[in-house]
A and B are shown apart, each in its own frame.
Chain A
Amino acid sequence: MTSSPEVVHDEPVRAPALEMRGITKRYPGVVANDHIDLDVKPGEIHALLGENGAGKTTLMNILYGLARPDDGEILIDGKPAQIAGPTDAIARGINMVHQHFMLVPVLSVADNILLGEETMAGPIFIDRREAKRRIIELGQRFGFEIDPDVKVGELSVGWQQRVEILKALYRNAKVLVLDEPTAVLTPQETEEIFAVLRRLAQEGHSIVFISHKLYEVLAIADRITVIRRGKVVGSRVPSETDESDLAALMVGRDVQLVVDRGESHPGEVRVKVAGLKVRDDRGSEVVRGLDFEIRAGEIFGIAGVAGNGQDELVEAIVGLRKPAAGTVTLDGHDVTNATTRAMTNLGVGYVPADRHRFGLVLPFTVADNLVLTDYYRAPYATGIVRNDEAIVERGKRAIEEYDIRTPSATVSAGTLSGGNQQKLVVARELDGDLRLLILDQPTRGLDVGSIEFIHKQAIAKRDAGTAVLLVSAELDEVLELSDRIAVMYRGLIVDVVDGRTADRNEIGMLMATGMRQEAAVASGAAEIPA
């Protein structure tokens, strides 16, 4: 491991399209970027790999003019450049595709692309026809044809991302920065977007690909720079490295990428869901009649692209949402309309998908968050009076047991990193004897170290005889942990397969189309999953 990147690329010498030299950014108490060097050559895909909080975001914010570096310089085509804001960055050909798309769903593709660029068309009126022509032409050039009149809200996530990329290309981007672009995509969509990126690189565009997913980085990048704690810790070429090497660089120790799940010994049926229908906040039925069972000591995985009713399903089971029809049974008792508190008392642990929305009160202390669901019970309260000592004690115990990295139990949860916040939720929800554990996107946005930890905890609970319901948009996670996998598509379970023999592509196809490959091809549904 070296502190400066080794030069590993030996192409004919061309000036890098973009070069960042000695970028340093300090925040109070923390050096977010410590003399980071990064360069991207024309036609190169350069991956920036690092855990959450390693400094990737800060570095890209500096490049995009959203933060001012304390030290260091940015060179574009070999010439020093001052970037004061996103407008500057765009004018110099640097464009960003954000993890969360910056698109207006009710506007058409063309309007979205023109948004903020209206001035380019003419002094007063926007020349829509010309714009549309260019959009179609650009799409064709890079291998995806798109109808500029379609409303963005009607497109699948994968196509929305292409619109984002088109937007950048329309603005003559030379350097394209993609921040975790595959976080919301199915494996197939990921492959398709990779094809687009390769095409872009061939045409001479430079791409910075930010990710913490090792296999993706290996699949797409020409060069990989790994940063940890604000420093560049190494640079690799995919052909000379592998996942464990990269993971070790990224985390600073050896990591078990796929936890050993061991044998599972399913027991009696613990949870039974029958004919369950659930509506979302707008009143449309997003869970449209589900039947499944989970046994004690097994992990039942639900795979599916986010937004196919998984969140509503889980909320209905734990009592946050009233089902429109159907029943939920736990240990033979009907708990269809049980409150969340009743469910907690019956031994149901629930790690919610959105820890900031449901799982935590960020301004509260770590200790207070750990007693969020049983604050009213002994020993944390006597009558209505809180027992601070017991609460802090509980905090200390959890910090110890779950290795939550925090200065103390009395700092606010908001000061913790994402991974540690999630550990906090896990510590609270996995405490004690559980009948049922529900994990909804338990590792979204987490680094490999935290993922390993949470997966091990889930397996430990399974071995202790808990029924585990795992919902994840991360197919690999479902595949690695589940004994049985149900694929959810538009509010229905379209198939249930054995978790140990499941085929990745098969499930990916089911996630994307609700059909197996043969059927999908036959009906032509594979093209645009709307």
Chain B
Amino acid sequence: MTDEPTTAPAQAPAPPASNQQPARRPDGRRLRQLRTAIVLPLVAVVVAFLVGSIFVYAADLIANKGALDLGKPLAAYKALIAGSLLGFGPIVDTLVAATPLVFGGLAVALGFKAGLFNIGVQGQLLMGVTASVAVGVALANQPVFIAAPLAFIAGTLAGMAMGFVPGFLKAVSGAHEVVTTIMLNYIALNILAAMVSGPLRVPKAPAPITFDVGHGALPIFLGSTGHIGIILAAIAAGVVWWVLYRTTLGFEIRTAGLNPDAARYAGMRPRRLIILTMSLSGGLAGMAGANELLGVTHKTTTSFATNVGFDSIAVALLARSNPLAVIPAALLLGAMRAGASQMQIQARIPRELVDVLQAVILLVVVALPVIIRDLGGRGARAVPAEAQTITASYAGETVRS
């Protein structure tokens, strides 16, 4: 009350910050942060595997007409791990599956850092797919070192353009980015379909499909599928981290994200920052699209089958929006995607189980700190800023702890 005039009395009382005794040693704080950063995802994974077991039993019971195999979940998870981690092939599969999630996760994380919830990564990604297939096909017979970079850059720029729109709308009219990006996702979906059924369509093909990008494809350097997008993604994570924490622009983005009023007070220009951040975020999403098209599929039908745009939100949340932590988070989800086929083949468990696992992991990581806070437990204030951005999106105003 006297020390925190804005605190409603219903909240858990804060330990009085004392002038005289520094309450916490800084290294103790860092240790706790590290603990939450590592322990929480681990707990989440364990809980997910436990909850997943229920679904495994259920699926098994139906498939085997009532005969219960107690060891089934273990067999399923074994196959999942074998298919993603055991051996060179599986590891490359995991890396390839994780790569678009790194780009997408960075896109969402960057938005979160600026207090923006970019739920439109999927749409920006599809624009990236559209532009890179167009440029890739056009340059299919040019040398690789010309075709591939240009196609990749085209995808990036298309994603940026698609990210610019909600940023601009928010800056000039205050339209909420959650609403506009969701709507733009549909627009992107149909732009891709229109392009593939129209100008990009292979003539006389029975169903709309594009040509192969040929030399526009990202070169393979690892096994039979490991393309250089893997390296680009790692570099992107480093660059985003550097921009956020080592440049004045990053300082402005983080200030605007944590306290827009203070950003205004400090002479920053929040509107410009919103447009810039959404564009950069869209660019990263566009890279995810270019990466998938140029590195994996090389061509596309009217519907580019991917869920990367939405899984990216999970990655960013798991990583607590830390650009470097995006890499392990993406690897975790990527491994599950990569191992899903083997699980389906060997253990006869539907691959959709990994969606269940992913959802449970997310619930634990995002919801647990909030639940702990509401129960007034210790470490109660550590509600991640991303969670606040999301709740704020629905509550319509910024929640500050």
**Residues B264 and A30 in contact, CB atoms below 8 Å apart:** no
Binary contact track B28-47/A, C-beta < 8 Å → 1, others 0: 01000000000000000000
Does B67 sit within 8 A of A, measured CB to CB? no
* Bitwise interface map of A from 400 to 427 toward B, beta carbon under 8 Å scored 1, else 0: 0000011110110001111110000000
Q: Do the beta carbons of A381 and B266 come within 8 Å of each other? A: no
Instruction: Count A-B contacts at CB 8 Å.
Output: 167
A58 contacts across to B, CB distance below 8 A: 13, 16
Binds A, one of B144-152, B255-263, B297-305, B358-366: B255-263
The docked-state distance in angstroms from the alpha carbon of A135 to that of B279 is 59
B248's partner among A359, A364, A376, A410 (CB-CB below 8 A) is A376
Question: Considering the complex, which residues of chain B in the window 1-41 have a beta carbon less than 8 Å from any beta carbon of chain A?
Answer: 1-6, 8-10, 12-13, 15-26, 29
- Per-residue contact bits, chain A 19-33, to B (CB 8 Å; 1 contact, 0 not): 000000001111010
A517 on the B face (CB < 8 A): no
Q: Which residue of A lies closest to B28 (CB)?
A: A29
Cβ of B65 under 8 Å from chain A: no
- B23 in contact with A358 (CB, 8 Å): no
Query: Which bucket holds chain A's interface residue count?
Result: 35 or more
Of A75-83, A302-310, A338-346, A468-476, the one contacting chain B is: A338-346
Q: A30-B23, A64-B9, A66-B13 are in contact. Are A358 and B3 (CB under 8 A)?
A: no
A410 neighbours in B (Cβ, 8 Å): 26
Q: Decide: B265 and A57 in contact? CB cutoff 8 A.
A: no
Q: Which residue of A lies closest to B267 (CB)?
A: A341
Taking a contact as CB atoms under 8 Å apart, the answer to whether A29 and B24 are in contact is: yes
Query: Does A445 lie within 8 Å of B15, measured CB to CB?
Result: no
Which residues from 327 to 356 on chain A have a C-beta closer than 8 Å to any C-beta of chain B?
339-342, 344, 350, 352, 356
Q: A411-455 toward B: CB 8 Å interface, digit per residue (1/0)?
A: 100011111100000000000000000000000110001000000
**Are A384 and B9 within 8 A (Cβ)?**
no
Residues of A within 8 A of B15 (CB): 27-30, 32
In the assembled complex, the Cα of A52 lies from the Cα of B261 at a distance in Å of: 26
- In the complex, which of the residues B12, B16, B248, B258 contacts A384, with contact meaning CB atoms closer than 8 Å? B248
List A contacts of B12 (CB < 8 A).
Answer: 66-67
Confirm or deny: B246 has a beta carbon within 8 angstroms of a beta carbon on chain A. yes
A28 touches B19 (CB 8 A): no
- Bound together, the chains give a CA A28 to CA B15 distance in angstroms of 8
Interface flags, A68-105, vs B, CB<8A=1, else 0: 00000000000000000010000000001011100000
Tell yes or no: A179 within 8 A of B by CB: yes
Residue with the highest number of chain B CB atoms closer than 10 Å, among A342, A376, A449: A376
User: How far apart sit A99 and B5, CA to CA, in the bound complex (Å)?
Assistant: 8
Chain B interface residue count, CB cutoff 8 Å, equals 43
Beta-carbon contact of B246 and A66 below 8 Å: no
**Chain A residues near B22 (CB, 8 Å)?**
405-407
Partner-contacting stretch, out of A196-204, A367-375, A485-493: A367-375
Contacting pair B20 A229 (CB below 8 A): yes
B16 and A54 contacting across the interface, CB-CB below 8 Å: yes
A363 contact from B26, B258, B267, Cβ within 8 A? B258
Q: Are A415 and B23 in contact, CB atoms less than 8 angstroms apart? A: yes
Determine if B228 is an interface residue (Cβ-Cβ < 8 Å): no
Given A57-B1, A419-B19, A445-B2, answer yes or no on A98-B9 (Cβ-Cβ < 8 Å): yes
Whose C-beta in chain B lies nearest to the C-beta of A445?
A: B5
CB-contact partner of A386 in B1, B24, B248, under 8 A: B248
Whether a CB of chain B sits under 8 angstroms from the CB of A173 is no
A-contact 0/1 string along B224-262, CB 8 Å cutoff: 000000000000000000000011111100110011011
Closest to B256 in A: A361
Rounded to whole angstroms, the CA-CA distance of A375 and B19 in the bound complex is 27
Query: When chains A and B are docked, how far (Å) is the Cα of A98 from the Cα of B9?
Result: 8
Asked if B204 is at the interface of the complex by the 8 Å CB criterion, the answer is no
Q: Are A375 and B23 in contact (CB under 8 A)?
A: no
Contact of B246 among A30, A53, A386, A406 (CB under 8 A): A386
Chain B residues positioned under 8 Å from A236 (CB to CB):
none
CB distance from B398 to the nearest CB of A (A): 11
- Check A264 for interface membership: any CB of B closer than 8 A: no
- Using CB atoms, name the residue of chain B closest to A371: B251
Q: Are B262 and A372 in contact (CB under 8 A)?
A: yes
Of chain B, the residue at the smallest CB distance from A230 is: B16
Q: Given the known A-B contacts A30-B18, A405-B20, A417-B18, are A340 and B246 also in contact in the complex, defined by CB atoms under 8 Å?
A: no
Q: Is A56 an interface residue (CB 8 A)?
A: yes
Q: Which of B113-161 contact A (CB under 8 A)?
A: none
Q: Are B247 and A52 in contact, CB atoms less than 8 angstroms apart?
A: no
Separation in Å of the A92 CB from the closest CB of chain B?
17
Q: Report if A360 contacts B (CB, 8 A).
A: yes
On whether A364 and B267 interact (CB within 8 A), knowing A357-B261, A415-B23, the answer reads no
A52 touches B267 (CB 8 A): no
* Alpha-carbon distance A60/B262, docked complex (angstroms): 32
Contacts of A67 in B (CB 8 A): 12-13
Q: Are A386 and B251 neighbours in the complex by a CB distance under 8 Å?
A: yes
CA A111 – CA B8 in complex, angstroms? 21
Determine which residue in B5, B6, B246, B400 has the highest number of CB atoms from chain A within 10 A of its CB, and name it: B5
Is B3 within 8 A of A340, CB to CB? no
Contact A384 B265 (CB under 8 A): no
Given A53-B16, A54-B16, A405-B22, A384-B255 contact (CB < 8 Å)? no
Bits for B389-401, please: 1 = Cβ < 8 Å to A, else 0: 0000000000010
Evaluate contact between B13 and A359: CB separation under 8 angstroms: no
B280 CB to closest chain A CB, in angstroms? 14
Nearest to B250 among chain A residues (CB) is A386
Interface string of A476-500 (1 = CB under 8 A from B): 0000000000000000000000000
A55 lies within 8 A of chain B by Cβ: yes
Chosen A-B contacts, 19 in total, with CB atoms closer than 8 Å, are A29-B23, A29-B24, A52-B3, A57-B13, A58-B13, A86-B9, A98-B9, A179-B1, A180-B1, A229-B20, A230-B16, A356-B6, A358-B261, A364-B258, A373-B266, A375-B251, A405-B20, A411-B29, A418-B3
Given contacts A54-B16, A229-B20, A376-B248, list 13 more A-B pairs with CB under 8 A. Answer: A30-B16, A32-B16, A51-B19, A57-B2, A57-B3, A66-B9, A99-B5, A210-B2, A358-B264, A361-B258, A363-B385, A388-B246, A411-B29
Task: List residues of chain B with CB under 8 Å of any chain A CB.
Answer: 1-6, 8-10, 12-13, 15-26, 29, 246-251, 254-255, 258-259, 261-262, 264-267, 378, 385, 400
A-B pairs, top 4 by smallest CB distance, nearest first, are A341-B267, A27-B15, A407-B22, A417-B17
